[in-house]
Copies of this chain bind each other. A is one copy, B any other.
Amino acid sequence: MSYRVAVLAGDGIGPEVMTQARRVLQAVEQKFNLVIDYQEYDVGGIAIDNHGTPLPNSTLRGCEQSDAILFGSVGGPKWENLPPEQQPERGALLPLRGHFELFCNLRPATLHPGLEALSPLRADISEKGFDILVVRELTGGIYFGKPKGREGSGDQEFAYDTMRYSRSEIERIARNAFIAAQSRRQKVTSVDKANVLACSVLWREVVEQVAAEFSDVELEHIYIDNATMQLLKRPNEFDVMLCSNLFGDIISDECAMLTGSMGLLPSASTNSKGFGLYEPAGGSAPDIAGKGVANPVAQILSAAMMLRYSLNQNAAAQCIEEAVAKALSNGYLTGELISPGSEHTAKTTKQMGDIIVQYI
């Protein structure tokens, strides 16, 4: 099998963790007889520096000619004072999501066995572990709804955004959530604010209709405000959390932080044709960039998600995931994962790559 992948390493730690992901991919390509052609393109701050825009046309065209995008991370202090729509993160990610209609965002947040102490949660809560998959709608809602703008002047000046959801937009993301739940713990928690938002009332209605097709999956509804609370008390009771764009932004970040190990979390954003963008949940971490200490696991697991969802190479994906799990459970950890007083010594970005390649 032969594929084409657009590599957008970006800024900060992006390039160095991408190097390790590429090595791991190379190892599974050999093992599973895959041929992947990688093309590198600028994105984010480096693209602003080289082309004057965070998402150059050449990058977009390159992505169009690929089966998937493997994305690093973008942003840094150098570009922080640009107007919002020109900043690396917003200016690259939102147009990519919109252009390729990447409506389905999967953000797993798992507390890895042995790493419970990293969670900011109380020991008796974190020791129960949790394994949550946030399924976030990514191309609708208040992110893309029109009209959006500003009018009037003086005291009377006002700004407005439109949250908007169609039945079909809700249906397709809901269906993905239920399918995901079927191969997990058969539970979907749909997050909304149906006591206030018209969009949420429709959301709830459509989600219930979709649920009727999945009699093996339990559905519960929760208000966004209550969801942020219950996640703190009983994270282990959630399985799949189905969210609109804005609520998914919030809930997925809360879940990520609850693991205490953001450097381990991948994400996938796919469209209805299986094309997708795969990126670590964490940011570009400019403070540690270039030091060789960043955790490459999130990038490596993002590559695994790419193999699974866009390249249909489930066995190769699983092989990477097992190698990562083995490395972690054998105590191969980068510095930020090591609690004070632990017997482990910090591994470098490259050492993490080495061991995972070895376990493939």
Residues of A within 8 A of B (CB): 84, 87, 89-90, 94, 119-123, 125-126, 142-143, 145, 148-150, 152, 154-169, 171, 193-199, 201-203, 224-226, 228-229, 232-233, 246, 249-250, 252-254, 256-258
Interface CB pairs A-B, < 8 A, 19 = A94-B196, A120-B121, A120-B233, A123-B123, A142-B161, A150-B202, A152-B166, A155-B166, A156-B167, A157-B202, A158-B164, A158-B165, A158-B166, A158-B202, A159-B203, A161-B198, A228-B253, A228-B254, A228-B257
Question: Which residues of chain B are near A252, meaning CB under 8 Å?
Answer: 225
- Rounded to whole angstroms, the CA-CA distance of A201 and B161 in the bound complex is 11
Question: Which residues of chain B are near A155, meaning CB under 8 Å?
Answer: 166-168, 171
- Rounded to whole angstroms, the CA-CA distance of A113 and B232 in the bound complex is 21
A143-B196 CB under 8 A given contacts A167-B156, A228-B228: yes
Please tell me if the beta carbons of A167 and B157 are within 8 angstroms of each other in the complex: yes
Question: Which residues of chain B are near A122, meaning CB under 8 Å?
Answer: 119-123, 126
Smallest beta-carbon distance A325→chain B, Å: 24
Q: How many copies of this chain does one complex carry?
A: 2
Smallest beta-carbon distance A59→chain B, Å: 20
Please tell me if the beta carbons of B125 and A154 are within 8 angstroms of each other in the complex: no
- Rounded to whole angstroms, the CA-CA distance of A96 and B194 in the bound complex is 19
Q: A197's contact among B142, B228, B229, by CB below 8 Å, is which?
A: B142
- Rounded to whole angstroms, the CA-CA distance of A163 and B193 in the bound complex is 14
Question: Which residues of chain B are near A249, meaning CB under 8 Å?
Answer: 193, 224-225
Q: Which of chain B's residues has its CB closest to A120's CB?
A: B232
Please tell me if the beta carbons of A163 and B166 are within 8 angstroms of each other in the complex: no
- Rounded to whole angstroms, the CA-CA distance of A149 and B202 in the bound complex is 10
Question: Which residues of chain B are near A166, meaning CB under 8 Å?
Answer: 152, 155-158
- Rounded to whole angstroms, the CA-CA distance of A252 and B166 in the bound complex is 30
Question: Which residues of chain B are near A94, meaning CB under 8 Å?
Answer: 196
Question: Which residues of chain B are near A202, meaning CB under 8 Å?
Answer: 150, 157-159
Question: Which residues of chain B are near A152, meaning CB under 8 Å?
Answer: 166
Please tell me if the beta carbons of B167 and A201 are within 8 angstroms of each other in the complex: no
Please tell me if the beta carbons of B164 and A159 are within 8 angstroms of each other in the complex: yes
Please tell me if the beta carbons of B250 and A228 are within 8 angstroms of each other in the complex: yes
Q: Which of chain B's residues has its CB closest to A248's CB?
A: B225
Q: A84's contact among B125, B194, B225, B232, by CB below 8 Å, is which?
A: B194
Please tell me if the beta carbons of B164 and A163 are within 8 angstroms of each other in the complex: no
Q: A160's contact among B90, B163, B171, by CB below 8 Å, is which?
A: B163
